[in-house]
Structure 1
Amino acid sequence: MDAVKGVKGKRLPRAVREEQMMDAAVRTFARRGYRAASMDEIAQLAGVSKPLVYLYLNSKDQLFTACIRREAQALLATVQAAIEPGLSADRQLWAGLTAFFDYTVESPDGWSVLHRQARTHGEPFALEVAAMRDEIVAFVAVLIQAAATEAGAARPEPELAERDMAGLAQALVGAAESLAGWMNDAGTMTAKEAAATLMNFAWVGLGNLLEGERWSARGPQGPAVVGAGEF
């Protein structure tokens, strides 16, 4: 995010002024934490008076919620814009993952608000992030369904159950979130490298799964389908 520049005293459209305050709030919440962040600090960083922050954005809780929603929408829009209809399922997932990791690198404060702050400060905030996450999981589940359909054209059996696809989507999104957190903290991997790591880890394994291979604690099972209760 670009540095927030105060323009106190200048008359600006309300939408522009609100965006400045939101930029300042996202940066402050990300770097200070929700509890430690103060409206005074946010107002100073935005170059406005504290009463003006309250006038436009009401309370600290509502300001934090607005920040979560803005960053969640930005992340979803980034991922959705990267997807090209008509591509194979794996290419679509690759594009989506690359866009996801790009967002976390290019908007570290926004990612911190979503990934760390919102999830640790109470149910209302966590629910906002959960709604965004559900949209991403649903999108990934559709891609897994598309991959299963593509594989089924040549090999109709065995099919992935709806529960399995939902579980795989949850696992893939969870892995992406964890990898993004580590990647940004460690600073040793690019967005494309992170996307490739996850594709190698998840999609290659999914390809074997779609070919009928299943892991079992009892040993290699070949093409046999092993249910969750049979381990």
Structure 2
Amino acid sequence: MPREVRERQMMDAAVLTFGRRGYQAASMDEIAELAGVSKPLVYLYLHSKEELFTACIRRESEALLRVVAGAVEGDGPAEERLWAGVLAFFTHTAGHPDAWAVLSRQARAQGEPFATEAERMRDRIIAYVAELVAAAAQEPCDAEGIAQALVGAAESLANWANGRAGVSPERAAKTLMGLVWRGLADLAPDLSKTLSTP
């Protein structure tokens, strides 16, 4: 089996294990067994539990960033791109709950250097959102502050939504945007049209 395929299997097993059991409780034996490989092979490829966890954070951060960046790129109105980015975020976190648990809870709970890895992802998402808020606004605003609030609320709502059956990504996105749209609507009147579209 090619190295990249076997390494992906180990990473997938590690994300699932770290996401469900937490960093401290996860064992390399359990990860190796779930991946269908020997424990020495996990160490050969990924060296240590700390390096494996860091690699998981980086991989899942990049995956989430690609999804959000892909949703917001283009030439459409900024408010529509913001909506698309929010929806993409919730769709991805709902579809990858173990990865989201690693990024949103496990990485931060373990302190350094893991928290810094997760924070880099968060900073990049905030930059995307701030740019869209500034572009959508028809008057000067604190785009970075709004972006910080929006991303913080999105993270909290994703944690809530992933723990409850029947909360779709669309519902989570509309809940978040419904919460903030009144304030943004003064800056971007067309936002109300975006939110009223199913």
TM-score over 0.5 (shorter chain): yes
Unpaired segments ≥5 residues, structure 2: 190-198
- 1:84 deviation in Å? 4.4
Identity of aligned residues (%): 61
CA distance in structure 2 between the partners assigned to 1:144 and 1:16 by the alignment: 40
- 1:83 deviation in Å? 2.5
* Equivalent pair of 2:136/2:187 in contact (CA under 8 Å): no
CA distance in structure 2 between the partners assigned to 1:183 and 1:37 by the alignment: 24
Equivalent position of 1:202 in the other structure: 180
- Counterpart of 1:50, as a letter, is K
Equivalent position of 2:130 in the other structure: 141
After TM superposition, what 4+ stretches of structure 1 lie above 4 angstroms from structure 2? none
CA distance in structure 1 between the partners assigned to 2:48 and 2:3 by the alignment: 17
Equivalent position of 2:77 in the other structure: 88
* Equivalent pair of 1:90/1:203 in contact (CA under 8 Å): no
Alignment RMSD: 1.3
Structure with the largest fraction of helix: 2
Equivalent position of 1:188 in the other structure: 166
Matches within 5 A, 1:97-116: 97-116=86-105
SS at match of 2:163: helix
* TM-score w.r.t. length of structure 1: 0.79
Match of 2:146 among 168, 176, 185: 168
Could you say which structure has the greater relative contact order, defined with CA pairs below 8 angstroms and 6 or more residues apart? 2
- 1:168 deviation in Å? 0.8
Equivalent position of 2:195 in the other structure: none
- Counterpart of 2:132, as a letter, is L
- Counterpart of 1:62, as a letter, is E
* TM-score w.r.t. length of structure 2: 0.92
Q: Deviations over 1:164-215 (max 9, x none)?
A: 221111000000000111111122321011111112211331122568xxxx
Question: Aligned pair count?
Answer: 189
CA distance in structure 2 between the partners assigned to 1:14 and 1:183 by the alignment: 36
- Counterpart of 1:188, as a letter, is G
Q: Deviations over 1:35-54 (max 9, x none)?
A: 01000110011111100000
